Amino acid sequence: MRPGAAGRHHPGLRLPRRRPGRRDDPGPAGVPGPVDRPAPAVAGGRHRRDAPGELPAVRRTRSGGQALIETAVTLPVLIALFLGFLAAGVGAQGYVDLNTAVYLAAASNVTAFAGDQPLAMQYATDTFDATVSHDTLLRKVGFNCPAPPSDYAAGGQVVCTGSAVLEFSKTPLAVVVPVDPTISATATATRSAYRSCPPNTVGAC
């Protein structure tokens, strides 16, 4: 080769040809090139929404029919429990109102004149009726303060009993309480030993 003829080859020297498909960058001998496409098993299970290079996420599907059945079973039970607790509260409040009415009626009874049983019963009955009427779910059944005339004397003790129907039928609670129960209450009151007799009374009363 002559000086100044750089890049020229000897006429008798033949260079080996490059095989088609071989990469220009050198690499270790015997090492296969990188895999340009995913393995068939992974590619077949990949979802189109998965990010490239990641394994497909496992998606758990739930049948719409199963969810509907579960809702249909549990919802009536929850509603029945709620109405049951509400009915217990209404029943307790009704008993408290009735007990209060009987207590106030007995207290009114002993404020009448000593020995005046008709007036004492009028006081007690009017008080009981007015108190029960404040509870729209209570319907009066009966009220009485049975006692001999001696108990209406000064220092006597009377026992009054009242009863009423708790009308659940007027409310949506009739679903869990199909009957209207009758409740009752009793109260005791003592007349003052210094209670005066009615006017124009002659002798002891």
Rounded to the nearest integer, the mean pLDDT of the chain is 80
Residue 123 located in a structural domain: yes
Q: Which domain holds residue 146?
A: 65-191
Residue 158 located in a structural domain: yes
Residue 142 located in a structural domain: yes
pLDDT, residue 129, reads: 97
Q: For the purposes of burial, counting CB atoms within 10 Å of the CB of 146, is it exposed (0-12), middle (13-18) or buried (19 or more)?
A: exposed
Residue 44 located in a structural domain: no
Q: pTM of this prediction?
A: 0.63
What number of CA atoms fall less than 13 Å from residue 198's CA on the CB side? 11
Instruction: Average the pLDDT over 195-204 and give the result.
Output: 72
Q: Return the CATH number at 126.
A: 3.30.1300
> Total domain count for the chain?
1
Task: Report how far apart, in Å, the C-alpha atoms of 174 and of each of 73, 75, 84, 178 are.
Answer: 21, 19, 10, 5
Q: Which residues have a Cβ under 8 Å from the Cβ of 104 and sit 6 or more positions away?
A: 127, 128, 131
pLDDT, residue 58, reads: 55
H helices present in the chain, as ranges: 40-44, 64-109, 117-132
Mean pLDDT lowest for which of 3-7, 11-15, 105-109? 3-7
111-135 residue pLDDT tens: 999 989 999 999 999 999 999 999 9
Amino acid at the residue 121: M
39-64 residue pLDDT tens: 555 555 555 665 565 555 555 555 66
Indicate the pLDDT class of residue 199, thresholds 50, 70 and 90. confident
What does the alpha-carbon distance between residue 161 and residue 144 come to, in Å, rounded to a whole number? 6
pLDDT, residue 71, reads: 78
